[in-house]
Structure 1
Amino acid sequence: MTAARNQAPAVDGPGEMRAGARAGGATALPDPPSPQYRSAGAPSILRAGLASIGLELRAYFRTPDTVFFTFLFPVLMLGIFGVAFESAGEIAPGVTMADYYLPGMIAAGLLLTGVQNLAVDIAREKGEGWLRRLGGTPVSPVSYFIGKAGMILVTSIAQLGLLLAFAVLVLGVELPTEPELWGRFAWLFLLGIVTMTLLGIALSAVPRSSRSATAVVLPIVLLLQFISGVYLQFSMLPEWLQNIASAFPLKWLAQGMRSVLLPESFAAAEPSGAWDLGLVALNLAVWLVVGLVLSLMTFRWQRRS
């Protein structure tokens, strides 16, 4: 009897539990383990989280609509804008429309991958009961989010590489060569990833069901892109709309990316006439903390209803 009690099913991470539930339909799950079992038999948090990254990546790339709307969408939009405005010529000496739109598309890619993808994905898993099942296993929420964060990091880097390759090889964009600018790009990119990931987790608490997740998240993401200088030149927007956009992180992330990929003379087109990198870092850091606090306050293994 003691041996039978100790042979609990092993759970390597959230992806395997989801895969088993999907494959078997009404999969029988064990009763929630006791606290003693959780501390003694559960795999290490880090090992389970690292294993979850591969499972999350496989699930991500097996979903065509997710890959298109979060991974390929910025590349598609850059191609459309670069080709559509090609006849307009250079907007400044040595700067084409593709050059101008590239920074905004990089920022939008982080928004789509972090906020949109995570918010919809977690809301769907919560609404369909996958997280409730995971709550009855030894899997730690930390392991679950390591898997999610690792997936966001890998897909964001892959998306960035594809976007830059497309811009250079197809649209003829010339990237900067100064190490200082690439160092600036690195901290902007990493700070942007962490901020957007935490905001995506926090936003996942808003949809009331898995069916409403896309309808709730997509308009928010789309609106932010239009008012934050991604599709429209930020200086063209009315002042009141610029003030609204300045309250959100995408505007600052796009501004920081422009400071890396556009000539210094373009800083004059910003509202303050400068890149304001200190304000960029401050606003992203504030939203990082907001996302972290909201995630800790709102995340549950199941919907509150």
Structure 2
Amino acid sequence: MKSLKIGFGLLVAVLIFLFVPLPYYITYPGEATTIEEFMTVEGGDKEPGELKMVTISQRRATPLWLVGSWFTPFTEASPASRYLYDGESEADYERRQELLMSSSQQAAIQYAYELADADVTVTFDGMYVSAPITGSLAANVLKPGDIITALDGQSFASRLDFIERVASFEAGDEVSVTLERDGREREVDTLIQPIDRSGDRVGLGIYEPLPVQDVRTDPDVSFELTNVGGPSAGLMFTLEIFDQLTPGDLTGGAVIAGTGTVDELGNVGPIGGAWQKIVAADEAGASVFFVPAGSNYDEAMESLDRLESDIEVVPVKTVEEAIDYLESMN
């Protein structure tokens, strides 16, 4: 009987070690994927060169994975709170990542078509509330999934217009928010709040408001990408769309990888995990790795020293800087 109890205890311990989730996520280099494999501009030119997006793989930690991360190069264990907002479930987090990916694709389409002088029309419907900040006044009246359509009765025409409208208020101002929730319109009142210690920057008290809009183009562009979330492929989406819309091969036949968010004005923004994504780019044989200028570039260069690779790391602030670099290569 004693040996049976010991054996059962060992079995339980093994199962816990293998399968019990911990409040941590493990991240490690993912894959570099050629964008033209899942994105097509109708009638667009597909050339020999490749533009690749790079990803980070992520999974919930178990004791086994947590211990393994301590000994695996370019692997990191981080508290779940680094990724999940207060009160946000894993399902809500996945939904937010899907929305960020969709928003990234829309911004890439909009800017690439404008840059290539192709037809694009954007119908703006409002701003999606990813989540109200826990403890903020907005948390009392706003919910994840709300779509804000007006402030003090005034609608806005774009994401930038919304940001400017919010910035026009001062901390403590009362504002009436018109929103759609579960298919019904309603109005709620809240106060504008400071979002930094100086009080100079103000907001509604919500995380990552995302534009809800319909982007129509001529020629059509389509994405068939699944199981990938987040906004960090925006730069590479934009380059691929522009390349298919315009004559010639932007890559000059080379394999080009990169990462970075993009907005509707072509600005490239910071992302997470540049130090891991460069590993995926190098393993895919890329000769160039575009990365947002600043801290992302610094961390990518630190990884480059460890990789002992000859991949060229190129910091960029705008889509045009990336295009200029590629054209100079050719």
If each structure's helix is expressed as a fraction of its own residues, which one has the higher value? Answer: 1
Find the structure with the greater CA-based Rg. Answer: 2
The TM-score with structure 2 as length reference comes to 0.28
Which of 1 and 2 has higher RCO (CA within 8 Å, sep 6+)?
Answer: 1
If each structure's strand is expressed as a fraction of its own residues, which one has the higher value? Answer: 2
